[in-house]
Chains A and B, each alone.
Chain A
């Protein structure tokens, strides 16, 4: 299997629980990278802290396992200082949007060329199942034992409002779409966001009586629909999948190159 060329096989089997979505995202991401044909040496993967962050240890790229919530800030420094590198930043929903929420919106606004993957399993898994910013009202967790009264937000709407020039959403069930959207996000010149709805059967599934990983995947199949589908008109509760935004916008490193030219002329 060609995608094995992209992993550090000596660390397998990985640390994730049976049926965890993170392995499925890793699987889909490697296929996307293989399809594009990127060289391992031109990819830098930066991650934060949490189950999602462990992805970086398993891939044979330049990998930076950084600190909680700040992966995009490290990535910004790497990209800005060496724009020819491809930056891929996998994050959990808590990593990206709670502790890292501020960095996320500003990275989106800046439009520096990198791909933020938000693996949304609606829970803090590594610490044992506390509610995350995407758990949503009425869900159960270790820190909402009487039901969660925190509202969630919509990652796609948030990303669009923050100015991301590419925004997509898919699920771990839709594996081919996942690979396709990730590939397009990586190719996209600018800040791309891909939300991947993912399952944590160990914590979110169990606490919310959602069954096994298989049941949760079935849930993604039933509860989502392609953007603009007729099904969505009939059932507004369905969550749309696909590419919501893809626009050409000035990329930050390119813009800064112009600043350098201006500053040098002034000398």
Chain B
């Protein structure tokens, strides 16, 4: 048997993907249903000479990885809803100070403490707007383990490219389910490494002056250039400023560097969309049931298709509009009260034809659930 072939949990595979991407520093705090990531990191990181920390809470965990990122390391933390709530302030800091890091949120059911061992997808909007102030953010997800691997590696690459935190919004089903997986050979997926400045020691270095391509070369803490990092509005040297021009330029830069690259950041999969009259839009584990329904109905000759979103933010508005242009019905399949639904309605030509197939009770949405809702939409009764 191929030794790269395994049967493991999504959480565990996420760890392997992070290591593949070059992660060598992790800090976290136990929380269901993400704890396996913490546990596997504790075991795996010292094996490769990396560093693992169990901190006193999720706030400290994110702060610690931001610190480690500043010394030049690829870093990650993982949590679930309650911990993700605690992380919001530090998340905003990493966005403002442009520090690459990856944050995994393995979503549980419900709000507040919710149903920790059950599934939900209720953190989509929190991932977008949880931290205060104007900002842009990259949020990605996956529905199966092989995609968890690819998207996790991708998340590290995007974090480096755009000097920003990237959120991996997985869910309990993907995190805990076991699937057969295959670990790609080294080099098979290209990696983006930290872009370091070529400015020599003793020459004025502008840590916050983007290059023409928008990228921001860094100097690691401990290296030749000493500069300031702050969450305050700052000038190109990293020092606080209340100059309106600087404040405007900074907010524009933080938003534009991501939203102007929405097309480049958009990851998605499509199934039978060419002639689809009814298009399901889904993501994460819910997309598994959606795909099942689509394939089942296709076998009966019905023209259903699935658009599986892997990048949730920046939301690929033009992509969704284009793909849904000819659809009679668009049905968003998700395990929340309609968080992606809102974005879809914004961009399609006929928002009145957009429907929601969802569950909000901590129970995994099944193909039967989706079929029942489709029958209602099609006027066939349940």
Direct A–B touching in the complex (beta carbon < 8 Å)? yes
List residues of A whose CB falls within 8 A of some B CB.
11, 40-42, 44, 46, 56-57, 60-67, 70, 73-82, 84-85, 102-103, 106, 256, 259-260, 262-264, 266-267
In the complex, whether B22 has a CB less than 8 A from a CB of chain A is no
Give the residue name and chain of the B residue nearest to A105 (CB): B56
With contacts A62-B227, A82-B71, A85-B222 taken as known, whether A76 is within 8 angstroms of B47 at the C-beta atoms is no
Contact call A64/B70, Cβ cutoff below 8 A = yes
Stretch of B61-69, B113-121, B143-151 at the chain-chain interface: B61-69
What is the size category of the interface that chain B forms with chain A?
Answer: 35 or more
Contact call B70/A256, Cβ cutoff below 8 A = no
Contacts of B73 in A (CB 8 A): 81
26 of the cross-chain contacts (CB-CB < 8 Å) are A11-B239, A40-B226, A41-B224, A57-B240, A60-B226, A63-B229, A64-B67, A64-B229, A65-B228, A70-B60, A73-B60, A73-B61, A76-B27, A77-B25, A77-B67, A77-B68, A81-B72, A82-B221, A85-B71, A85-B221, A85-B222, A102-B57, A103-B56, A262-B46, A263-B43, A264-B49
In the complex, whether B350 has a CB less than 8 A from a CB of chain A is no
Interface-centre pick from A62, A81, A262 (highest chain B CB count, 10 A) = A81
What 1/0 mask marks residues of chain B from 216 to 255 whose CB sits below 8 Å from any chain A CB? 0000011110111111100000011000000000000000
Contacts of B75 in A (CB 8 A): 77
Give the residue name and chain of the A residue nearest to B64 (CB): A77
In the complex, whether B136 has a CB less than 8 A from a CB of chain A is no
CA distance in complex: A41, B225 (Å): 8
- Nearest chain A CB to B163 CB, angstrom units: 16
Contact call A106/B60, Cβ cutoff below 8 A = yes
CA distance in complex: A76, B248 (Å): 33
CA distance in complex: A84, B71 (Å): 11
Contact call B49/A81, Cβ cutoff below 8 A = no
Contact call A78/B46, Cβ cutoff below 8 A = no
With contacts A73-B63, A85-B71 taken as known, whether A41 is within 8 angstroms of B46 at the C-beta atoms is no
With contacts A67-B90, A103-B60 taken as known, whether A78 is within 8 angstroms of B226 at the C-beta atoms is no
Contacts of B57 in A (CB 8 A): 102
Contact call B63/A81, Cβ cutoff below 8 A = no
Q: Tell me which of B69, B89, B222, B240 contacts A84 (CB under 8 A).
A: B222
CA distance in complex: A267, B93 (Å): 38
CA distance in complex: A46, B27 (Å): 18
Contact call A78/B68, Cβ cutoff below 8 A = yes
CA distance in complex: A63, B229 (Å): 6
- Nearest chain A CB to B52 CB, angstrom units: 8
Give the residue name and chain of the A residue nearest to B24 (CB): A81
Contacts of A263 in B (CB 8 A): 43, 46-47
With contacts A57-B239, A63-B228 taken as known, whether A259 is within 8 angstroms of B66 at the C-beta atoms is no
With contacts A80-B51, A80-B68, A81-B73 taken as known, whether A63 is within 8 angstroms of B60 at the C-beta atoms is no
CA distance in complex: A62, B232 (Å): 17
What 1/0 mask marks residues of chain B from 89 to 123 whose CB sits below 8 Å from any chain A CB? 11001000000000000000000000000000000
CA distance in complex: A11, B241 (Å): 12
In the complex, whether B53 has a CB less than 8 A from a CB of chain A is yes
Contact call B60/A81, Cβ cutoff below 8 A = no
Contacts of B230 in A (CB 8 A): 57, 64-65
Contacts of A267 in B (CB 8 A): 47
Contact call A67/B89, Cβ cutoff below 8 A = yes
In the complex, whether B273 has a CB less than 8 A from a CB of chain A is no
- Nearest chain B CB to A71 CB, angstrom units: 8
Closest 3 CB pairs of A and B: A77-B67, A77-B64, A263-B46
CA distance in complex: A216, B59 (Å): 36
With contacts A65-B230, A74-B64 taken as known, whether A44 is within 8 angstroms of B221 at the C-beta atoms is yes
Contact call A78/B231, Cβ cutoff below 8 A = no
CA distance in complex: A46, B53 (Å): 19
What 1/0 mask marks residues of chain B from 23 to 45 whose CB sits below 8 Å from any chain A CB? 00101000000000000000100
Q: Tell me which of B64, B89, B226 contacts A76 (CB under 8 A).
A: B64
- Nearest chain B CB to A102 CB, angstrom units: 6
Contact call B231/A66, Cβ cutoff below 8 A = yes
Contacts of B46 in A (CB 8 A): 256, 259-260, 262-264
Give the residue name and chain of the A residue nearest to B25 (CB): A81
| Additional A-B contacts beyond A57-B230, A78-B68, A259-B46 (18; CB < 8 A) | A44-B222, A62-B221, A63-B227, A63-B228, A63-B229, A74-B66, A74-B67, A77-B25, A77-B64, A77-B66, A78-B71, A81-B68, A85-B71, A85-B221, A103-B56, A106-B55, A106-B56, A260-B49
Contact call A77/B229, Cβ cutoff below 8 A = no
- Nearest chain A CB to B148 CB, angstrom units: 24
- Nearest chain B CB to A219 CB, angstrom units: 33
Give the residue name and chain of the B residue nearest to A60 (CB): B226
Contact call B47/A70, Cβ cutoff below 8 A = no
CA distance in complex: A57, B51 (Å): 29
CA distance in complex: A85, B231 (Å): 22
Contacts of B226 in A (CB 8 A): 40-41, 60-63
- Nearest chain B CB to A15 CB, angstrom units: 10
- Nearest chain B CB to A46 CB, angstrom units: 7
Contacts of A84 in B (CB 8 A): 222
Contact call A70/B90, Cβ cutoff below 8 A = yes
With contacts A42-B222, A44-B222, A106-B60 taken as known, whether A78 is within 8 angstroms of B67 at the C-beta atoms is yes
Contacts of A102 in B (CB 8 A): 56-57, 60
